[in-house]
Structure 1
Amino acid sequence: MSARGRVPVAAYKDLCVDAVDAPALARFWGDVLDLRVRPREDGVVALLGPTPQHTVWVNPVPEPVTVKQRVHLDVHAGDVRDVLTAGATPLDLESFRWKVLRDPEGGELCAFERDEVPSDRLYEIVVDSADPERVARWWAGVLGGRLVSDGTGEEWAVEDVPGAPFECLVFGAVPEPKTVKNRIHLDVTTPNVSGLVEAGATVLRHPDGVIRWTVLSDPEGNEFCAFGDR
């Protein structure tokens, strides 16, 4: 299946991760994703790679992890011990063909061991969903990716997102509802935020004296930020 018959209204820009201790969590993700760590004076830490789309912003927040993350990252690794050495802790190393871990602040991630590790260490961005087909179809239309299903209806993915340094966005069915702000979110660029709203996004915060981007949520309430396409 493909959503590329429609003109995308936005483009993938980069990724944001919330952290109580931004420098420490940035060092962890810098090691795991093989990105350069660049602190800023405002407390935000940038993780930089070969393209702007590889950038991960680690943003300081006061709230610690209190519930299972609704968005988590899957990564490529030569050996799960490398991720553990970087600062992860094991959560489930036996039940799946991947290793379920926690980052230094308790957020979940999954490590997929590879004989040959790709240069882009980020494999997938995984989102818990009430209706995975609906939200995956929405993001495929917004970003211009290719919509695929696992055949069960329980998992849908958006592959081939233009410019994205990962293989796909994965949306998996879960029974529990969203209760808190996601600690991981996407940034996008768009020529017109109204196009995102017309597609079904909800504006949560307009640009003001503090922020120059628009904070929105997708049809299932997942936060993301939209920047002007300059």
Structure 2
Amino acid sequence: MGLRPVMVNIKAVDHVAVGRFWAGALGWTAHSRSTTWVAPGDEFVWPDPVVIGVDVVPVPGAKTAKNQVHLDLAYEKGLVDRVRDLGATPVDIGQGDVPWTVLADPEGNEFCVLEPRDVYRDTGPIAAIVVDSPDPRVSARFWGAAIDWTPRQVTGDFAALRAGSGDGPFLEFLRAPGGGDRLHLDLLPTDEHAEVERLRALGATDLDVGQGAVPWTVLADPAGLGFCVLNPE
């Protein structure tokens, strides 16, 4: 098996502006070409050999619904003020009275800035990639097998996975109805055909989001979450 998450894909009307926002929020660098690649370091390197980067891609339509996927940012003193200065705005998604801060980027994509938590002390700036799922157990089972990440906690309402190395962000699933598709994961295989067939055997299905003829494969997991398997060439 050779399949690893290499980036969170964010759709944006203005990919340059949104990419600059996320670069400022994460303390990384934005490299704008046909898309805006956000990753550590001053040089353009894709994929980053260590971190899961952010790729902001241009689309014509604005966001219309709460996203199914959002990012949780690890605690950093002054981070809330910094992202607000960059253009983030408070947003109410029904979170109630919680110790973390819920915000949206300049095009309305939700994210959270967390309070200090020991579990996220060594994740880097992205603490977790969080997915709304109708069944976190099903999602954790599929994704654990798909990318060989280790379950850290699995209940009926919440599941958390992390790379076996203990590096990088968590992948978390919260019991909640699905939402919009402005964010998704892109996976890099060693062999696209073999990995796509393996994912289908695990329960993934082909997904048409209007992509047309592209060199990558668009799939949905058993809970309906869309993701892409890239062409390694």
Give the TM-score of the pair, scaled to structure 2.
0.81
Residue pair 2:68, 2:179 contacting (<8 A) in 1 also: no
Separation in 2, partners of 1:107, 1:209: 25
Say if 2:16 is the partner of 1:14: no
Separation in 1, partners of 2:131, 2:52: 19
Separation in 2, partners of 1:183, 1:139: 20
One of 27, 45, 51 as aligned partner of 2:20 = 27
One of 17, 37, 40 as aligned partner of 1:46 = 37
Instruction: Identify unmatched segments of 5+ residues in structure 2.
Output: 42-47
Alignment deviations for residues 96-153 of structure 1 (CA, whole Å, 9 cap, x no partner): 12111111111111001449986821110110010111111110111111113365x2
* 3-state SS in 2 of match to 1:30: helix
Aligned residues: 215
Counterpart in the other structure of 1:137: 141
AA aligned to 1:88 is A
Counterpart in the other structure of 2:63: 65
Counterpart in the other structure of 2:44: none
Using the TM superposition, give the Cα deviation of residue 204 of structure 1 relative to its aligned residue in structure 2, in angstroms.
Answer: 2.3
Residue pair 1:78, 1:115 contacting (<8 A) in 2 also: no
Quickly say closer, same or farther: Cα 1:10–1:222, change in 2 above 3 A: same
Separation in 2, partners of 1:98, 1:225: 30
Give the TM-score of the pair, scaled to structure 1.
0.82
Counterpart in the other structure of 2:200: 197
AA aligned to 1:47 is V
Quickly say closer, same or farther: Cα 1:197–1:162, change in 2 above 3 A: farther
* 3-state SS in 2 of match to 1:211: coil
Quickly say closer, same or farther: Cα 1:218–1:156, change in 2 above 3 A: same
Residue pair 2:138, 2:223 contacting (<8 A) in 1 also: no
AA aligned to 2:142 is W
Quickly say closer, same or farther: Cα 1:162–1:186, change in 2 above 3 A: farther
Counterpart in the other structure of 1:56: 54
* 3-state SS in 2 of match to 1:23: helix
Identity %: 34
Using the TM superposition, give the Cα deviation of residue 87 of structure 1 relative to its aligned residue in structure 2, in angstroms.
Answer: 1.2
Counterpart in the other structure of 1:3: none
Using the TM superposition, give the Cα deviation of residue 66 of structure 1 relative to its aligned residue in structure 2, in angstroms.
Answer: 1.2
Counterpart in the other structure of 1:101: 103
Alignment deviations for residues 54-91 of structure 1 (CA, whole Å, 9 cap, x no partner): 32110011221111111100002322112211211112
Using the TM superposition, give the Cα deviation of residue 9 of structure 1 relative to its aligned residue in structure 2, in angstroms.
Answer: 5.7
Say if 2:113 is the partner of 1:111: yes
AA aligned to 1:201 is A
One of 156, 172, 185 as aligned partner of 2:159 = 156
